[in-house]
């Protein structure tokens, strides 16, 4: 297999993009990535998307997107793995280039989620859970993650304040991110006093409903410096699954798919968790970031909340987590999230993150999770 590098990135502003359609959002991000890479052609593309048919009535993205991007007749593939659809698009692009099948491949993700009422969005997102045994009984994703949070608090003494500190830290980072949906700071008191959604989770513990798109261009590492003087090599890829429903798991405070995907990525990269300089993890809810930190080896089991409280995950901390602001502040257009995480890590490794720059960043990790941990994909990136 050939080594693979990222040579271009692009993304839209995340938020309520009322005046843009799904295909317009994707084309904007894709053109930015193409322009950033300097390529004159792409051989193939992968599109991560969960809800095109559910929210805007648009399927067949594998024809729609290349049509409006103006790159027909290249092959295009739409991939879906719930909230990890974006990372799956990158994994497929990586494999296509690594195998030698293509040289220049675009991996992107897109979601248009705000054109429907909240109850319709909630119903659609529940398709990423076990419809028969979870969603049909009335539980939503805030409820599922509330169960995880309550059990984590019971088992390890994680506090309500520590959950709030995750949101506060991510909004502090997101306030420095021009792409963020909610680029403003919040306080612990605001989190604790926000509307209760599913005990113990409150509104400011939850990621928002978001429109947005992101894209990257990958090519063989041996060709990368023909296009950019700052290529970023993909050195590790890990992908794993777990039971879709929480009731099928022995321990709901450990997301086994994260553990396994992390192990596979670390093994492929030949590194350990302590070698990572920064990470973008899937903080769809504040408890999800704490679990991810522990399951990826950045904190001992049960000590994720304490690590946040001690400042270890701040931009200038021992292991900066979500310098982009994470899903919580940056936003969560489901199919685009995994690619947006990669865009942030590439920006950091290039030293171009401005006020939120992590000092001397050389190796970064992305963790993109589907549903309540039924699927997880981890990528590890390194400066060439």
pLDDT digits (tens, 9 = 90+) for 141-154: 999 999 999 999 99
Pairing type for strands 278-280 and 363-370 reads: parallel
Which of 23, 171, 282, 332 is an active site residue? 332
pLDDT band at residue 33, thresholds of 50, 70 and 90?
very high
Residue pLDDT, tens place only, 242-280: 999 999 999 999 999 999 999 999 999 999 999 999 999
Dump pLDDT digits (tens) for 319-354: 999 999 999 999 999 999 999 999 999 999 999 999
Mean pLDDT of all residues in 29-47? 98
Is 332 catalytic? The answer is: yes
- What pLDDT was estimated at residue 202? 98
Same topology between domain 4-117+210-224 and domain 137-205+235-383:
yes
CA atoms within 13 A on the CB side of 63: 3
Is 72 among the catalytic positions?
A: no
Q: Which helix (H) or strand (E) holds 215?
A: strand 212-220
Give the percent of the chain with pLDDT over 70. Answer: 100
Q: How far is CA 296 from CA 81, 273, 333, 368, in A?
A: 20, 7, 23, 12
For 41-82, the pLDDT digits (tens) are: 999 999 999 999 999 999 999 999 999 999 999 999 999 999
The pLDDT of residue 242 is: 98
108: DSSP letter: E
Distance CA 148, CA 156 (A): 12
For residue 224, what pLDDT is reported? 98
Catalytic residue among 23, 83, 179, 291: 83
Specify the CATH class of 4-117+210-224 in words.
Answer: alpha beta
Mean pLDDT taken over the chain: 97
Say what the pLDDT of residue 207 is.
98
pLDDT at 48: 98
Q: Which two tokens stand for residue 7?
A: 């040579």
Q: Tell me the β-bridge partners of 106.
A: 45, 217
Q: Classify domain 137-205+235-383 by CATH architecture.
A: 3-Layer(aba) Sandwich (3.40)
- What residues does each domain of the chain span? 4-117+210-224, 137-205+235-383
Q: Kindly tell me the burial class for residue 180, based on how many C-beta atoms sit within 10 Å of its own C-beta (0-12, 13-18, 19 or more).
A: buried
- pTM for this prediction: 0.98
Give residue-wise pLDDT tens across range 150-201: 999 999 999 999 999 999 999 999 999 999 999 999 999 999 999 999 999 9
% of the chain exceeding 90 in pLDDT: 98
Give the pLDDT band of residue 109 (cuts 50, 70, 90). Answer: very high
């Amino acid at each position: 297999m050939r080594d693979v590098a990222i040579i271009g990135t692009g993304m839209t502003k995340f938020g309520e993009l009322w005046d843009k359609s799904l295909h317009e959002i994707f084309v904007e991000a894709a053109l930015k990535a193409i322009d950033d890479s300097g390529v004159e052609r792409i051989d193939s593309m992968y599109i991560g998307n969960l809800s095109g048919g559910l929210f805007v009535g648009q399927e067949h993205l594998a024809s729609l997107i290349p049509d409006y991007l103006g790159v027909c007749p290249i092959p295009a593939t739409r991939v879906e793995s719930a909230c990890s659809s974006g990372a799956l698009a990158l994994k497929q692009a990586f494999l296509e280039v690594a195998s030698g099948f293509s040289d220049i491949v675009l991996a992107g993700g897109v979601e248009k989620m705000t054109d429907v009422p909240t109850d319709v969005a909630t119903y659609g997102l529940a398709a990423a859970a076990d419809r028969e045994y979870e969603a049909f009984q009335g539980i939503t994703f805030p409820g599922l993650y509330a169960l995880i949070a309550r059990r984590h608090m019971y088992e390890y003494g994680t506090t309500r304040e520590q959950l709030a500190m995750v949101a506060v830290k991510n909004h502090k980072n997101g306030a420095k991110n021009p792409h963020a949906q909610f680029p403003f700071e919040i306080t612990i008191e605001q989190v604790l006093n926000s509307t209760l959604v599913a005990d113990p989770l409150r509104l400011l513990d939850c990621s928002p409903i978001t429109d947005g798109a992101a894209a990257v261009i990958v090519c063989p590492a041996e060709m990368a410096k023909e296009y950019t003087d700052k290529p970023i090599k993909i050195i590790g890829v890990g992908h794993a699954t777990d039971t879709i429903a929480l009731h099928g798991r022995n321990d709901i405070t450990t997301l086994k798919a994260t553990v396994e995907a992390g192990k596979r990525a670390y093994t492929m990269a030949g590194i350990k968790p302590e070698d990572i300089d920064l990470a973008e993890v899937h903080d769809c809810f504040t408890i999800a970031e704490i679990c991810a930190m522990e399951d990826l080896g950045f904190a001992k089991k049960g000590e994720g909340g304490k690590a946040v409280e001690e400042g270890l995950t701040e931009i200038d901390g021992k292991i900066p987590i979500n310098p982009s602001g994470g899903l919580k502040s940056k936003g969560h257009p489901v199919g685009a999230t995994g690619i947006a995480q990669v865009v942030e890590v590439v920006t950091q490794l290039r030293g171009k993150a401005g006020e939120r720059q992590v000092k001397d960043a050389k190796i970064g990790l992305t963790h993109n999770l589907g549903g309540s941990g039924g699927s997880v994909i981890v990528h590890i990136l390194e400066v060439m």
